[in-house]
Amino acid sequence: MPGRTSSPEDLHTQVWRASSLGASASPCVPSGFAALDAELPGRGWPTRALSEILVSRQAVLEWRLLAPGLRQLMQTTAPPAASAAARSTRHHRAAPAVSAGKPLLLINPPLTPHLAGLQACGLAPQQLVWISAATPQQQLWATEQAIKSNAAAAVLAWLPQARPEQIRRLQSHALATEAPIFIFRPLQAQGQSSAAPLRLAVSAGGWDLAVQILKRRGPVFEGQLMLNAMPTDLDRVLTPRMLSVAPSLPLLKSFAGPPQGRLDHSLTGSSRLMNEPPRGADRVSAGEGSEVHVEHSHALARPAQPVAAH
């Protein structure tokens, strides 16, 4: 029986030299930063693979890095028409279309998601689902189930205590999903091994982001990228003097609310996340001893205020 033939484009994605930037066999999501896309295999965030991002300041820098790409991803409703030039491009495959109703999953964010800041980035409230899991085992279980279900437009999981063998397991599941999967860990984990094909270290460089590519399919990346990642429309309200100095932590917390506690969202007809199930809410188990209760609209109307635990 004659073997199956492959197109030159398919062959190029399977054979590559370590001295050249690899191509991507799966669709990629543009990051929104041209300088970063030029250094990523496939010229964007990969699908069917983990992207591990090590941050020096959690719940702040990752949003500034991912917001442009997530906005474009969540606003995509139909696949773009493939032009002749696009078909001939060997290094880039367009991002997949996001069907209506697919949410953006936030698993174990260290701070309460701030709707106003995320909405300013173009992320609609009804597209967000926040999953809270108390222990590292529950966080890993929720992340694994989110990846295996392939029901999200993108998955963002904060897994500060994940071990190398656990990341390897998540990567094996990510091979079958069509969404980009991002896991966030502290910068101190840089010395640990990781099965994630793409690994970045991100720190603050004034109003810019200093990004190092620690691992990619291609040659070793030397130096760092300085990405202009000022929060949306913030330059309109800051004085020239404020723009000339490095930002302080309170100014950068535009995407995060108070620390997590026992939460009770008194929302305007949208959703709640708390320990006791609200009436009419769907119950989703996030592991033994932990439950996540999300109403059907999957919206976070405003930051939660912590209340005393009983």
Average pLDDT on 156-164 reads 96
- Domain assignment present for residue 99? The answer is yes
- Domain assignment present for residue 302? The answer is no
Q: Is 115 helix (H, G, I), strand (E, B) or coil?
A: helix
User: How far, in Å, CA of 310 to CA of 293, rounded?
Assistant: 18
- Domain assignment present for residue 15? The answer is no
Least confident of 37-41, 67-71, 269-273: 269-273
pLDDT bin (cut points 50, 70, 90) of residue 68 is very high
Fill in the amino acid letter for 171. Q
Predicted confidence (pLDDT) at residue 297 exceeds the cutoff of 60? no
Least confident of 83-87, 162-166, 171-175: 83-87
User: How far, in Å, CA of 167 to CA of 144, rounded?
Assistant: 10
User: How far, in Å, CA of 22 to CA of 94, rounded?
Assistant: 16
Q: 0.75 cut: is pTM over it?
A: no
Fill in the amino acid letter for 33. F
- Domain assignment present for residue 115? The answer is yes
Predicted confidence (pLDDT) at residue 71 exceeds the cutoff of 60? yes
Place of tokens 């001893």: 289
Place of tokens 């063998």: 165
User: Which CATH number is 116's domain given?
Assistant: 3.40.50.300
pLDDT in tens, 224-273: 999 998 876 777 888 888 877 766 443 334 444 444 433 333 222 233 33
Range of the domain at 291: 25-77+92-296
Q: Is 1 helix (H, G, I), strand (E, B) or coil?
A: coil
- Domain assignment present for residue 259? The answer is yes
Q: How many domains does the chain have?
A: 1
